[in-house]
Amino acid sequence: MFARACEELNQFAVAIREESRFVSVRTGADIRSHADGWKLEKWVECETSAEKGQWAVLWLELGADDSGWTVGSNLSISHGDYYSEFPLMHARTSDELQPSLATAVARLRRSLIDDREFCDAIERSRRA
């Protein structure tokens, strides 16, 4: 399920790259150990300014807790210029996990269109 969500974000990155809206677009994935447990992580980075090394980042993570799975997602601009976190979602079973991942991916995909605050932060990062 997480692999499917990652593939959707990879396809989204290709579409963004083809639009030529950003200097460059790249993706990454990892598994990391955090204080609250492991997290599978997937991200799409959109370079807004090559001169300043500015990136707009769309982030997805999957972890586990005592009650099952957690799905987190957030948006950020590098250097602390912007950060917004979507509400954490919980899934007790694998049947509940798929819709949570789909919701998170949909939120991230829509963010470059619907999230006015994030889009404004991207434009500021280009001009600053």
Q: ∠7-12-39 over CA atoms, to 5°?
A: 50
Nearest to 46 by CA among 99, 123, 128: 123
Could you give the CA distance from residue 62 to residue 17 in angstroms, rounded to a whole number?
A: 25
Tens of each residue's pLDDT in the chain, 128 residues? 999 999 999 999 999 999 999 999 999 999 999 888 899 999 999 999 988 889 999 999 999 988 899 999 999 999 888 999 999 999 999 899 999 999 999 999 999 999 999 999 999 998 86
Question: Contact at 8 Å (CB) between 54 and 85?
Answer: no
H/E segment holding residue 126: helix 116-127
Burial of 13-48, coded b for 16+ CB within 10 Å and e otherwise, reads beebbeeeebeebebeeeeeeeeeeebbbbbbbbbb
Question: Contact at 8 Å (CB) between 51 and 128?
Answer: no
H/E segment holding residue 109: helix 94-114
**Residue 52: predicted pLDDT:** 87
**Residue 128: predicted pLDDT:** 66
**Residue 40: predicted pLDDT:** 97
